[in-house]
Structure 1
Amino acid sequence: MAVGDSSLSSTGVSKAPRITNQSLNQNSTADNAAFNSRSAAEDAHYFVKNKKQERSEFQNFVEYATGKQLPLFGEEFFSRPPSSFAPLQDTPIPSDYVLGAGDEVLIRAWGSVDIDYRATVDRNGLINIPTIGAVPMVGVKAGEADAVIKSSIGKLYRDVAVSVSFGRLRAITVYVVGQARKPGSYTVSGFSTLVTALLVSGGPNLTGSMRNVQVKRQGKIVGSLDLYSFIAKGDKSHDVKLQDGDTIYIPAAAGYVALTGKVNVPAIYELKSANESVASILDLAGGVPVVADPRRAFLERIDPNKSQPRTVEEFSLNQAGLTKTFKNGDLLTVASITPDFSNAVTLRGNVNQALRVPFKAGMRIRDLIPNREALITRASVRRQNGSVIHGVNGDIDDKGLIKENAASISANIGNLIDDVNWEYAVIERVDRATLSVSLLPFNLGRAMDNPESEDNLRLQAGDAVTVFSQNDIQVPVAKRKVFARVEGEVNVPGVYQMGPGETIQSLIAKAGGTTSNAYLFGTEFYREKVRQEQQLNLEKAVRRLESQSRTENAKAAANQSGAVDAQVIALKLKAEQEASAQVLAKMRELKATGRISFGLAANDENFDKLPALKLENGDQLVIPSRPDFVHVFGAVNQEASIIWRKGMTVEKYLADAGPTSEADMDGVFVLRPNGTVASSAGRGWFSSINSVEIMPGDSIVVPDRLNKETPYKVFTNGLKDWAQILSGFGLGAAAIKTLK
């Protein structure tokens, strides 16, 4: 029971003698603490804190030999501040703790006598209880104290209940000597053990032994402790309970060895004796992991008596190898297993699942690839599932996932399956004798169609079979799938599968021909490969313009240095720089369309005039209806879409729109529905853009007049030049308007 428990403040027995002392009115819990020397603990903490900065000569040698910093096994045990290991307040007293002089005993008894008394064991081993007398306590264990005191009280009083607890316990002084990190005397609690004292003192130094720490008492060794057994296995059976005056002696270590490579705990280990076996040290290291190769262990040894003191030997960690004995300075490296398989065949590439299967005698291609369905890739399955789950809009990315903001599901028609290259697959085979690689190509289609085909090759252990898609290795045009889309003014818009060599005219024919509203001049044709090329060129153009802008702005700033109105000029330059930066930002947002301009004449009305362009997979043909409007935008009083009238020229439309005073009339250009640009450039002395007849769907662009002295003018050079550039990227009126 705890001291001060109110349930023991009275016994309920009338007229019982009451024996107390004033000290029992205080709660003695706070007194039940370990006695440590504050200065000693602080000193030990300093050494522990700086321990990681210290390295032994052998540790430095191992790092030089292996390139790795290995810890000394067990040093982490002493890496925490010693106060973390000091006995805490209210720690239960072990039942086998032997009482001695200075220990405080709290006695409560009730019944025929009422006792509430604190007694201290004197140097004679006695406690004196008033009316009871002296009670011998020296040598009595804590668990026996109740019975001893009850027996003494029972000689005088009957029917007495006794409860004994403990207050302040005696402190003892022990001495730590030898190869200690911080030798000296330490005051510790009376029930401290060898382990707790080592923790308080910081343990052995860099050359001190962890495996043979001794406790000496009155000149004799009363116990020794192998800390490795405790740290590695939790064996504390040899821990020694300390007594006042004990000496803890830490001898020098017998030697050290290093374990590296595939061992569970790579570290430097202390040898307990001069003939310790490989097995015993590996046991301390937790053995070797499953990826270790027990057939290949390398032992490096130092013999200072030889002219070349370092040697190495290879052996297996079998029964004979494990019995080998270490010598001081040995370095053991356990190799890793090689990751290759002795009996595997690998399938990879354009397959449903990459496989590594066990090789069997007589195994062939068809045993590895049982059917064609095994070649439906996971990306294809995701695209199929995505089409069902999402139902409508959704372009598929290269991972087979649905892209957001897709134009329409028609763009995905024909792309559910990654087409296999049936003409070419290959076996890679390694000759282990020469480490040479040979390729065995075969026709996958024939192997799948006929098990008796010579293309159904026989496999060997270690073979890797790779299947390709038609995107991995391009097949001839005649063997590629072609799905082309036609929409707009045709009788049956849709996606059509085209044969090898078929052209735009063939696509229109499959769509039932054009309608009476078809507008040949505005025909649009898009190709993905062209879009990718255009996008790369567009990005190069933006980078080139960025560089030009920086150069021109730097020149302008240099030319204006030292000017009187420098502040005004600086503000002007800043505005010009911001303007060019805004245009560049807009250009970065532009995306190439992949449009191919056919350059049709305005008077062409026969679709046979379209080029006989062979179709590729993903091609898109858009035949618009004849528009009713002409668009005018830029430096005009009112941007508008004006009804088209036959025979009207640029000049007449501009007269209707009304150019502003800032309009650059020499830079006017026309974006035409056929994808071309018309401007005054190259039209001769007596011809200008003003006389060009406007066709339905034309867009007339009027640029602003720019100050020719500003870097922004040099940078842009007017939208009239940009129009020529941007038309080469498949960009139309919308892009020009964005940049306006």
Structure 2
Amino acid sequence: MKKIVTAIVLLIALFQSTTIQAQDLLKKTDLSTLNVDNLSANDIAKLKSQLQANNMTIEQAEPIALSKGMAAAEFAKLKQRVQSGNNNAPVNTTKEKESFRKQDPIVNPKIKDSVNSLIFGSELFDNPSLNFEPNLKLATPVNYTLGPSDELQVSLYGVQEFNASIPVSAEGKISIQYVGDILVSGMTIEAATQKIKSAMSRVYSTLASGQSQLSVTLGSIRTIKVTIIGGKQPGNYSVSSLATVYNALHLAGGPGKNGSYRNIELIRNNKVVAKIDLYKFLVNGDQSANVGLKDNDVIRIPAYSQRVTMEGELKRPGIFELKTGETFADVLAFASGFNESAYTASVSIVQKTGKEFKVQDVSEKEFKTYQPKSGDVIKVTKILNRFENRIKIQGAVFRPDFYSFTEGMKVSDVIARAEGLKEDAYSKRGTIIRLKSDLTNEIVNFDLAKALQRDPKEDILLKREDIITIYSILDFREEFKVTIDGEVKKPAEYNYFDNLTLNDLIVQAGGLTGSASKRVEVARMITSEEIDTTNPNKAELFAIEISPESNEQAKNFQLKPFDIVSIRKMAVYEKPEMVTVSGAVPYAGKYALVSKKSKVYDIIQRAGGLTDIANIEGVKIKRPIKASQIEDIQNVNVNLGKKDSIQSKLEKKFKEEVKFAVIPLDWKAIVKNQNNRANVTLFPGDEIEVAIFNEGVKVAGNVLLTSEIPYKDGRSFGYYLDAVGGVDAKGWRRKAYIIYPNGKAAVTNSFLFFRSSPQVKPGSQIIVPEKPEVRKMSTGEWVGIGSVISSLALLIITAFK
């Protein structure tokens, strides 16, 4: 009962129009006129806090509100606003988390500055992905100075509660309900918090006793005006009150073309309050000069006083600004020092005098004392592409490489440093390629064996850049080969070694194949100091017998360089080969050719003969076209000229379109006489095709209707063409032809005025080709022909006069 009474009091106090005073909310009992849209965020926050304090949810308060006349739609709005952001969980009365601060976005598009790109630091301000905007998510700085347009989030939590977002007025005051106006302008957050706490303690007694706590944070941040002089984009800028000097400089694009990066002034109330040297940040990352801005601050960028240019072998070449008293060593630090290829003993400086240029060399010992002048161009060159103390040894030593040279070094010393000679070293001679003073080369020879014995004449004193070569006896040997071919798994050319035998070579070649015979031939070159005209032989031939089963020969034959070994194939060694039978036979499939002269009739009989549905006039062989046949066509010269495409079209047709040749068979003649020529001998890969009897005749090509017409005995060729509507406009009826079921073709024949058409049989196919295109003669061509005829006629008449 106590909870219900408390809820009624809460609803009466809170569900009132926001225009009435707080003390009237407790007296209001009629909720029928309540508009939830008019309730402020503070009203909703109070309702949530008081519901939590009484251990009630908004659902439990619904029947009470409705009984006081509140509309169901309005209560639904109220419920949504109470539950938004907390997922129906009870309202937490502890300190709420600080919300993100709001700040109007400040944007100034950046354009890549290609003109001043060499000036050190310019890339800091024209990079659109880089900025110095303040982080609004960080805690409020304790030294932040409040001013008009700031907004404070004041939150009291504990026994007593209060939440409000209060703006700072133009007079610099905030107004807190029941507390009154408090002047905070010009105060830091820390000072303002103490002042607000003191004022609120007079109204909220638990604040002074510590039973309640106060939190004052910065909500919306005000915008201030700063003026930038001397930047790439000078002018007045509106920035966040949390902004710093670097943020404002970035908005203005940094210093202008002649602006200084090292003497930037921050002017406040007509006084210079800070001088900013951007090099401290660029070189050392020091942001001590990145001070906060205040309203009406002026950032003045004066013109530079001294600039020098650094070129050449530096880690960061460019244009650098100097202060009075800075030396070359300071400029070198700005450029991040020399790179790995730089000549560091001295640098060359091009200076401008009053009349002309001059060059000055600054040595390494002067780097810390020499003070460059404005306009100097300092050039750092590369080191020379040569070595001051290098020698090289190569060849038959264990560690051929470059080594450091010292005065007095001899051949034996560098050989010892290379860990001695290899076993194959040629001890009679070594050579030195030496660089002479005029940069030409000379060769110096020495006896290697005597040099190792410290013979003064042979153990030669070395010089810088000498190249010592120790030869190997293997360098003087010819690389011998032997060849094995024929019935081995890896026929090829192999290296020859001393004492190499035939058996060794066969093993290297992977052994013999299953088709290898016992006969082996070895061809050996003939060598002689004199020419023997009586001997016509170019090679000596050896016939050897081996045992193919064990890869071993009866006699271990010794091979010599450049021998050619031929392993012969067995006289009879052929794997069974297949042909295919398809169509109207009982046992279609693949059949092995058991005889070299297997005939069509034999294979069809093995397949069970022809079935009842077979077309005896539809037996044919499809024989695959071999690559060798295509090569033969390519090698034939049809003498059509280089520009004629018939030859290439013919080759392309055989390569890409025609996969096999068709051999038509006369099955009746084969059955009647098996010795008939129609009973052809089969080749491996052939396919015997037996057509199924078909009573139709197919008509295709350039006809009005491609169709299959039922066969009628005695009907002519023209009957079937007429049955499909005749030929179309492009059809060439005189050249129509027929393809019979066995693959044989026939054409229409003409003799004088008589034309005979081929006989039509069941299962045939009639094809009407397209007429060739004939170019019509133009009017001018006809006129030309007429003129020629007229001239000829006049010539004839004149001749017979």
Normalised TM-score (structure 2): 0.49
Matches within 5 A, 1:97-176: 97-156=144-203, 157=205, 158=208, 159=210, 160-176=212-228
Deviation at 1:196, TM superposition (A): 0.5
The corresponding residue for 2:431 is 426
Q: Which residue of 1 aligns with 2:323?
A: 272
Tell me, yes or no, if the aligned pair for 1:37 and 1:186 is still in contact at 8 Å. Answer: no
Contact 2:140/2:217 (<8 A) preserved: no
Aligned residue identity for 1:286 = S
Which of 222, 225, 241 is the aligned partner of 1:190?
Answer: 241
The whole-number CA distance in structure 2 between the counterparts of 1:227 and 1:494 is: 73
Q: Separation in 1 of the partners of 2:541 and 2:304?
A: 102
Contact 1:85–1:200, Cα closer than 8 Å, also in 2: no
Output the CA distance in 1 between the equivalents of 2:421 and 2:145.
79
User: Counterpart of 1:370 in 2: which secondary structure?
Assistant: helix
Q: 1:268 to 1:519 in 2, by over 3 A?
A: same
**Residues 630 and 605 of structure 1, relative CA distance in 2, 3 Å threshold:** farther
1:192 to partner: Cα distance: 0.7
What is the deviation of 1:333?
1.4
Q: Is 1:334 aligned to 2:380, yes or no? A: yes
What's the offset of the Cα at 1:440?
2.4
Report if the CA contact (8 A) 2:315-2:339 is conserved.
yes
- Name the CA distance, whole Å, in 2 between partners of 1:208 and 1:424: 72
Distance in 2 between residues matched to 1:92 and 1:134, nearest whole Å: 26
CA gap of 1:421–1:8, structure 2 versus 1, over 3 A, is farther
Q: Distance in 2 between matches of 1:144 and 1:337?
A: 64
Structure 1's 107 and 266: CA in aligned 2 closer, same or farther, altered over 3 A? same
Is the alpha carbon distance of 1:494 and 1:124 closer, same or farther for their aligned partners in structure 2, counting shifts above 3 Å? closer
Residues 1:292 and 2:296 aligned together: no
Provide, for residues 20-45 of structure 1, a one-character-per-residue CA deviation record: whole Å limited to 9, x for no partner.
xx9x999998872444555xx1xxx2
Q: Which has the higher helix share?
A: 1
From 210, 229, 242, give the equivalent of 2:261: 210
Match of 1:706 among 636, 640, 646: 636
Identity %: 26
Distance 1:336 1:9, change over 3 A: farther
Partners in 2 of 1:339 and 1:706 — Cα distance?
63
Counterpart contact for 2:525–2:538, Cα < 8 Å:
no
Choose from 462, 481, 503 the match for 1:459.
Answer: 462
Aligned-partner Cα distance in 1 for 2:542–2:134: 102
Q: Is the contact between residue 127 and residue 134 of structure 1 (CA under 8 Å) also seen in structure 2?
A: yes
Corresponding position of 2:409: 363
C-alpha displacement of 1:420? 5.3
Q: Could you say what the CA RMSD is over the residues aligned between the two structures, in angstroms?
A: 4.9
Q: Confirm or deny: 8 A CA contact 2:430 2:471 kept in the other structure.
A: yes
Contact 2:243 2:292 in 1 (8 A): yes
Q: Deviations over 1:481-537 (max 9, x none)?
A: 665548799xxx9944399xxxxxxx9xxxxxxxx98776x73779xxxxxxxxxxx
- Relative contact order, CA 8 A, sep 6+: which one is greater? 1
Q: Secondary structure of the equivalent of 1:300? A: strand
Give the 3 Å change call, closer, same or farther, for CA 287–626 of structure 1 in structure 2.
closer
**Structure 1's 152 and 13: CA in aligned 2 closer, same or farther, altered over 3 A?**
farther
What is the deviation of 1:174? 0.7
How much does 1:331 deviate?
0.6
Q: Hey, which of these two has a bigger chunk of strand by percent?
A: 2
Write the mapping of 1:271-420 to structure 2, written as runs, cut at 5 A: 271-273=322-324, 275-289=325-339, 291-303=341-353, 305-306=354-355, 309-318=356-365, 320-338=366-384, 340-348=386-394, 351-360=397-406, 362-370=408-416
| Kept in 2: contact 1:262–1:335 (CA 8 A) | yes
Q: What CA distance in whole angstroms lies between the structure 2 residues aligned with 1:267 and 1:332?
A: 10
In structure 1, what is the Cα distance between the partners aligned to 2:232 and 2:562? 82
- Check 1:271–1:371 CA distance in 2 against 1; reply closer, same or farther (3 A cut): closer
Aligned length, in residue pairs: 464
Change (3 A) 1:627 1:125: closer
Is residue 106–residue 117 contact of structure 1 (8 Å, CA) maintained in 2?
yes
For 1:196 and 1:186, locate their aligned partners in 2 and report how far apart those are by CA, in whole Å: 11
AA matched with 1:465: I
Change (3 A) 1:627 1:233: closer
Gaps of 5+ in 2: 1-40, 56-77, 86-96, 487-493, 506-516, 527-534, 544-558, 574-595, 598-630, 645-801
Q: Secondary structure at the match of 2:468?
A: strand
SS of the equivalent of 1:151 reads helix
Q: Which residue of 2 aligns with 1:244?
A: 295
1:620 equivalenced with 2:562 (yes/no)? yes
2:583 matched residue in structure 1: none
* Deviation for aligned residue 1:299: 0.7
Distance 1:245 1:469, change over 3 A: farther
Cα pair 2:131 2:247 within 8 Å, conserved = no
Aligned to 2:152, the other structure's residue is in SS state strand
Q: CA deviation at 1:190?
A: 0.2
Could you tell me which residue of structure 1 aligns to residue 767 of structure 2? none
Describe the superposition over 1:165-185 as per-residue Cα deviations: whole angstroms up to 9, x where unpaired: 22101110111123x111111
Distance in structure 2 (CA, Å) of the matches to 1:707 and 1:89: 88
Q: Distance in 2 between matches of 1:467 and 1:279?
A: 50
- Cα distance between partner residues in 1 of 2:361 and 2:374: 18
Q: For residues 437 and 523 of structure 1, do their structure 2 counterparts lie closer, same or farther at Cα, with a shift above 3 Å needed?
A: closer
Alignment correspondent of 2:49: 10
Give the match for residue 592 of structure 1. none
Distance apart, 1:144 and its partner CA: 5.0
Q: Deviations over 1:400-450 (max 9, x none)?
A: xxxxxxxxxxxxxxxxx9x65655533344456x555443232445545x3
The structural deviation recorded for 1:89 is 4.8
Residues 345 and 462 in structure 1, CA contact (< 8 A), matched pair in contact too: yes
Q: Say if 1:171 and 1:188, in contact at 8 Å, map to a contact too.
A: yes
Q: Return closer, same or farther for 1:494/1:488 CA change in 2, 3 Å cut-off.
A: farther
* Alpha-carbon distance between aligned partners in 2 of 1:114 and 1:240, rounded to the nearest angstrom: 38
In 1, Cα distance between equivalents of 2:112 and 2:130: 16
CA change 1:88–1:33 in 2 (3 A) is: farther
Deviations 1:276-332 (A, max 9, x none): 3212211212222454333221111012x22xx1111112132x3332112221011
What is the CA deviation profile of residues 57-115 of structure 1, one whole-angstrom value per residue up to 9, with x for unaligned ones? xxxxxxxxxxxxx7111111012227844345534433322222221110111235321
Relative to structure 1, the CA distance from residue 620 to residue 224 in structure 2 (aligned partners, 3 Å threshold; closer, same or farther) is: same
- Is the alpha carbon distance of 1:82 and 1:622 closer, same or farther for their aligned partners in structure 2, counting shifts above 3 Å? closer
Aligned to 1:94: 141
Q: Distance in 2 between matches of 1:203 and 1:227?
A: 10
State whether residues 228 and 234 of structure 2, in contact with CA within 8 Å, keep that contact through their aligned partners in structure 1: yes
TM-score by length of 1: 0.53
Larger radius of gyration: 2
3-state DSSP class of the match of 1:336? Answer: coil
The equivalent residue for 2:64 is none
Change (3 A) 1:488 1:136: closer
Shift of 1:194: 0.7
Which residue is equivalent to 2:729?
A: none
Aligned to 2:113: 51
1:353 to partner: Cα distance: 4.0
Whole-angstrom distance in 2 between the partners of 1:147 and 1:280: 49
**2:307 aligned partner:** 256
